[in-house]
Structure 1
Amino acid sequence: MTQPRIFYLGATGYVGGHAFNILAKNHPECQIVALVRNDEQATKLKAAFPTVEAVLGDLDSTDVLIREASRANVIINAASSDHSPGAEALIQGLGQGRKGYLVHISGTGILHDVSTGFGNESAKIYRDTVDGDMAEIVSFDPSHPHGDTENVIRTTAKAAAVPFAILCPPLIYGIGKGVFKTRSIQIPLLVEAAMKRGKAFQILEGQNIWDNVHIDDVAQALVLLAEEALKGEASKAQWGEQGYYFAEAAEHRWGTIIAALAGILFSKGRVSTPEVDKVSAEDASRLHPWGPLLWGGNCRSRAERIRKLGWEPRGPGIDSCLEEMVDKEIEAFGTGEKKLTFDK
């Protein structure tokens, strides 16, 4: 029997690296090929996972993506939520080859809702089993993050008859266990900005709500979809237009999280007071260009579809992980380590 082949993009990232760790250890029967940018990354990855094959390239290496995709039974794209040409090349390769499965990571930033104003709660909750909610997501204009790439995947995969799934997690917290990157995005950037200005801040009233999920839980969701893809036609998962999966565990108000972070930072001497300033969305964008998106609106979802496959979040709650994340940022801040982009 031919060894199943997985082409994995994002093994050097935060979510992708954590999930890669699980997938490689749990599935030695698979031939895993990982895309890496340079020889240094290849050496480091193979030192941790000797049986993994490393291929040099990036999401702009169209020929490499098409070639490796054509050989794959399953592709995991955890490298970027916003690189449409790369996603298109992967689907082109799948269409030319084994007609394998694509699992792509997006994010609930696509749901960003400020219809009630920045810093205010919105009652709108998107459910991945509700056709009307899915139709609304497909119709989002280009101002919604990740939407362009999601629609490229839908259109290209449909034309090529390639089965695909999109995993759409919310805010991800916790320290990753990948070989490379271990820090997330939203909370680390917030902590960094608070330390730089000497005081924590929230956008206006801070009553806006986001969902959240622990890094291990979203990694397990990604691995679950990969395992379903490996089953081929025996898979119980839904693919194509119905293959859209949220991955929420709980939700938080930003004002509550920021108050807790302010207290932790003050206790460690990193801000001058445990009090929190209220700033406008415009001021938040001066503190960080993504500020209004990351901390100012609502992103609310319910992961009903993947729960039907047996996924249940088991990681620690966000409150219990805040201090270790602050400690990680204090360490990174002191060494001058740079923050990431939306790459996973």
Structure 2
Amino acid sequence: MTNPKILVTGASGYVGGTVLSQFLSSSIAEIKNASYSVLVRKQEQADQYASQGITAHLAGLEDQAAVRQLASQFDIIVHAADSTNVAAAEALIYGLRDGAQKSAKITKPCLIHLSGVSSLGDRPVSKPSTIISHEFSDKRDDIYSYMKWRESLKPYTQRTTDLAVIDAGEKADVQTYVIKAPRIYGRGTGMFNRKSVHIPVLISGAIAAGRPEYIADGAGVWDDVHILDLANFYELLLGKILKNESIPTGTKPFFFVQSIRHSWKELAEGLAKAGVKSGALKAEETCSIGLSEATEKYGSGDTGLTEVAFASSSVTKADLALEMGWTSQKTEADFQQSLLDDFKAATSC
């Protein structure tokens, strides 16, 4: 692929900004030689990117006609803006298809979609008999069929969007890859938002309550990955796409990227230690709360979302990433240090 045009959505966000930064500093020749543009909502963001020599386009994902037209101008889209917007994802995919039909430059356009693993989580509090905890492998397990089955029981917007991305890609003859990231930690390197979502929310709750909280027994386990390790996988994947190298996939192109894991109670205990060390908390105490209380504090009134996002087990194996040569550079010590850094950031605002 000669001088491909790449669009990054969500470039003002935590993941999208860090991934773009990784691309721009890459030593891989094919990535360095690509042309990058971003999709943003605010003029000041566009101006700042323009000052760095990056073309910025202003549009909201809700304007599907504009999104589709914009997508038709690119060969590859790295979509990190919203993992729950089906219409926007489909507009990007069909826009890529429109552009490919007009150009002989590339054999197949490509969309890399950022998602998460809450769509795979169990329901440890409500305990529906059909949902069990399982360690998922992106190589061994049929993630697509499992999510189709889960979706037939009860729709979940993140899962709905993942499935729509795969289905639309096959229909439009656009190659799609869905990266399902776990809990992401660490400081980002983008131009705007550099903090994650999960852990800062729990830190704000801990400061308000005087101690970190977890739901029920806190036994649910999630994987964790440092934002820079995640960005490294994006770089690896993009490099293989641009070099036309073989990319291993399971039954469908889902990829997990994970390194360490913690139960919600273990996370709360780590937050308690970091909170005391930072001076934000007085004692290394944690507290169990019920799902209803957690929904009010952390889930914006959505009990189902709160349960899967803050109490479930959602554990994965990044078998395909490892097969491609990806390795995590960050350790448990880095994770614990990030908790302290996040407390300091929260209390310095």
- Aligned partner of 2:231: which letter? A
**Letter of the 2:326 counterpart:** W
Q: Which runs of 4+ in 1 moved over 6 A?
A: none
- Which secondary structure state, in structure 2, belongs to the residue aligned with residue 54 of structure 1? strand
Question: CA offsets, 1:134-168, max 9 Å, x none?
Answer: 42123222444511111111221111111110001
Counterpart Cα distance in 1 of 2:245 and 2:112:
13
Match of 2:97 in 1: 95
| Alpha-carbon distance in 1 for matches of 2:255, 2:65 | 29
CA apart distance, 1:272:
4.2
Following superposition of structure 1 onto structure 2, how do residues 141-160 of structure 1 map, counting pairs within 5 Å? Answer: 141=151, 142-160=154-172
Matched residue SS, 1:179: coil
Instruction: Note if contact 1:154-1:241 (Cα within 8 Å) is conserved in structure 2.
Output: no
Q: For each residue in 1:207-234, what CA deviation from the matched residue of structure 2 results, as whole angstroms up to 9, or x when unmatched?
A: 2100010000111112222222223xx2
Determine whether 1:173 maps to 2:189: no
What is the letter of the counterpart of residue 184 of structure 2?
Answer: I
Structure 2 match to 1:324: 341
Report what 1:338 is aligned to.
none
1:209 and 2:213 correspond: no
1:176-197: per-residue Cα shift (whole Å, max 9, x none)?
1110001101111000011112
User: Which one of the candidate residues 313, 322, 325 is aligned to 1:307?
Assistant: 322
Go from structure 1 to structure 2 and tell me whether the alpha carbon gap of 1:236 and 1:2 turns closer, same or farther (over 3 Å shift). Answer: closer
Relative to structure 1, the CA distance from residue 62 to residue 134 in structure 2 (aligned partners, 3 Å threshold; closer, same or farther) is closer
- Is contact 1:6-1:31 (8 Å) kept? yes
Instruction: Tell me which moved more, 25-34 or 250-259.
Output: 25-34
What letter is aligned with 1:72?
A: F
Cα gap change, 1:238/1:97 in structure 2, threshold over 3 Å: closer, same or farther? farther
1:103·1:225 contact (CA, 8 Å) conserved in 2? no
Residue in 2 aligned with 1:276?
286
**Structure 1 residue aligned with 2:21:** 21
Unaligned runs of 5+ in 1: 335-344
Q: Does 1:193 pair with 2:217?
A: no
Instruction: Single out whichever of 56-65 and 251-260 deviates more from structure 2.
Output: 56-65
Q: CA deviation at 1:280?
A: 1.1
Q: Residues 201, 316 of structure 1: CA spacing in aligned structure 2 closer, same or farther, 3 A cutoff? A: same
Higher mean alpha-carbon deviation, 165-174 vs 137-146, is at: 137-146
Give 1:283 deviation, angstroms. Answer: 1.4
Show the counterpart of 2:75.
73
- Describe the superposition over 1:236-260 as per-residue Cα deviations: whole angstroms up to 9, x where unpaired: 1146952110001111111112112
Show the counterpart of 1:58. 60
What SS class does the counterpart of residue 324 from structure 2 fall into?
coil
Give the counterpart of 2:149 among 139, 158, 168.
139
Using a 3 Å threshold, how does the CA distance of structure 1 residues 294 and 55 change in structure 2: closer, same or farther? same
Aligned residue for 2:245? 235
Alpha-carbon distance, 1:115 to partner: 4.7
- Distance in 1, matches of 2:46 and 2:261, equals 37
CA contact (8 A) 1:39 1:56 kept: yes
Match of 1:257 in 2: 267
Say which SS state the counterpart of residue 59 (structure 1) adopts: coil
Q: What is the TM-score normalised by the length of structure 2?
A: 0.87
Q: Which segment is superposed worse, 268-277 or 176-185?
A: 268-277
Secondary structure of residue in 1 paired with 2:57: strand
Partner Cα distance (2:120, 2:240) in 1: 26
Q: 1:284-303, CA deviations, whole angstroms, 9 ceiling, x for partnerless residues?
A: 11222154333211111111
> 2 CA distance for matches of 1:208 and 1:180?
32
1:315-337 Cα shifts (integer Å, max 9, x gaps) = 24322321112112222xx4xxx
Residue type at the aligned position of 2:246: K
**CA offset digits 1:25-59 (Å, max 9, x no partner):** 22331111111112200111233x32x21111121
Closer, same or farther: CA 284–303 of 1 in aligned 2, 3 Å: same
The 1-side partners of 2:65 and 2:142 are apart by: 38
Structure 2: distance between partners of 1:22 and 1:53: 17
Q: Which segment is superposed worse, 19-28 or 141-150? A: 141-150
Q: Structure 2 CA distance, aligned partners of 1:266 and 1:197? A: 14
Report the Cα offset of residue 264 of structure 1. 2.2
**What's the CA shift string for 1:84-131, capped at 9, x where partnerless?**
11101011111112241110001011111125768xxx7510111124
Amino acid at match of 1:251: R
TM-score, L = length of structure 1: 0.88
Q: Which of 169, 173, 190 does residue 161 from structure 1 map onto? A: 173
